[in-house]
Homo-oligomer: A and B are copies of this chain.
């Protein structure tokens, strides 16, 4: 790799990072979320099956008492339910409700709408470029 290419990578990385962070920030502030970020994140984890508070705390990188509180709030709002674990009396299963699935879908729809409004204003060529870029960015986000 030449030094010119290395400088290009630094510039590209900086431009990409800044754009992604600015877009993310604006989506969070301007899409009219009805639930808090930490609540949304937990509901996403429960989308494809119940989890214990311990598992939720680990995957969300928060303490067990914090997750107790977060789950408590979601229960109060009717977005999840607590039930006994079938095999282990110490554990609890947290399950998303229909209302929880609804708020998840609504939040995503409103967030996507923010981006749709902007992508619609682009040229067809720009959308082709972004379609290729989206695959690469998705790969970056996952690696």
Contact = CB atoms under 8 A, between A and B. Distances in A.
Interface of A: 8-10, 12-29, 61, 108, 111-112, 114-116, 118-122, 126-127, 129-138, 140-143
Contacts of A114: 17
Indicate how many identical chains form the complex.
2
**What's the dominant secondary structure at chain A's contact region?**
helix
Nearest to A24: B24
A116 B10 contact: yes
Contacts of A115: 13-14, 16-17, 140
A75 to B, nearest CB: 25
Residue of A13, A27, A116, A127 with most partner-chain B CB within 10 A = A13
Q: Which 7 residue pairs of A and B lie closest in terms of their CB atoms, listed nearest first?
A: A133-B133, A24-B24, A22-B141, A19-B137, A13-B115, A15-B134, A20-B20
19 contacts: A8-B131, A10-B116, A13-B116, A15-B134, A15-B135, A16-B133, A17-B23, A17-B27, A18-B138, A19-B138, A19-B140, A19-B141, A20-B27, A22-B142, A23-B137, A115-B140, A118-B143, A119-B140, A132-B133
